[in-house]
Structure 1
Amino acid sequence: MQTRLVFDIETAGYDFDSLDDQMKEYLLKFAETDEEIEAEKLKINMYAYTAQTVCIGMLNVDTMKGQVLVQAPEGADRWVSDDGNVEYIPGTEEDVLRGFWKVVAQYEQIISYNGRGFDGPFLHLRSAMKNIKPTRNLVPYRYDASRHCDLLDQMSFYGSYRRFSLDFVCTSMGIESPKRQGVTGMDVWELFREGNYKDIAEYNYRDLIATRELFLRWDNFINIG
């Protein structure tokens, strides 16, 4: 059996006003109304050029053991999840990225939800910006799930069926959604700004659990080719 790792990231954009004038102009060049301007400002949380890696979670599919690496103030202590399965490890963004690349190199298959469209490209770009060398390609050949199983691709049958959010799919399948405990990805920027890194890390772990459960459902009942 392959060694299998679920991964998920959380990101937070820099303050829009901290960007230089040319960057602001570029990002807002198609925004005309106040609503469109605000919407574009929110999108900077999703771009590797205007955001940072706040958290990366990793969970072994078979042992249920893992790590959540999270940006936190210097001197912050490690802690362990209530179930004892995951260690939360604080550090700088560079620490988070290096720790991720060290762990992910040890696995044959990685599993994500939209990892090919977001998490993978974001991590490759942020690593390049920090002069950190990746240990594997997170965006390999799309139609070979044995290396990177992106469940957004799999649950939409590579786009032949409508794509739904992780929350929507999990809820429909009777899997507890991480979003139903009061925190969503949209809250991460505010939590990060307020220094609530523990809330971010624990939300990320809930994402990992849900993604693992969805992967097992897909692997047992849909992955029959």
Structure 2
Amino acid sequence: MSDAATTSRRLPHDRRRGLMLVLSSPSGAGKTTLSRRLLASDDDIALSVSVTTRAKRPGEVDGVDYHFIDKPAFQRMVDDDALLEHATVFENSYGTPRAAVEATLASGRDVLFDIDWQGTQQLADRARDDLVTVFILPPSIVELERRLTTRAQDSAEVVARRMAKAADEMSHYAEYDYVLVNDDVDRSLANLEAILRAERLRRKRQLGLSGFVNGMREDAGR
């Protein structure tokens, strides 16, 4: 068998369908920090930019952090089935635009989602084979409250509401493929990167695998 016959055939990991990587957690557990660091270190994954009806926070950029739209526009997207998932949290609605996600997956890149358990369930109903889900837990309730308070993004009233909601959110951890306790950001990021590497190598995501193996079998029989 010639070296040319071996090297001309594309390796199976050169052709794959992208996956949808979901990170969920109670607010303040660190999923946004982990998301940003993963995106900065890996060019093969893109952030799904959600639409939302809530007001912009200081420093947020339309089209980067969220697509900020009004309630009638959001409802039109729901009616047109233009959202893969959507939910209402604290009187504000959030959703994932379908078209951009499907185009990215088809190109072989992955899509990162920062959504709650309700949105994750909806994605699982629509595209379970493409989905990898990770739940981020805080190391303690005391630390969770400290993080919410020190980031100074919300009023004391909103922090109290988020703490009250945290117990319910954490009860859904068993619905996820993986669970990380975020007591150290560097360690949690390393574990998250390991999950992503392993999931990219799943047999079902390597589109050229059967042809690659069959080609080698033919070469071996010559």
Q: TM-score by structure 2 length?
A: 0.31
Q: Larger helix proportion, structure 1 or 2?
A: 2
Who wins on radius of gyration, i.e. which is larger?
A: 2
Using CA pairs below 8 Å that are at least 6 residues apart, which structure has the higher relative contact order?
2
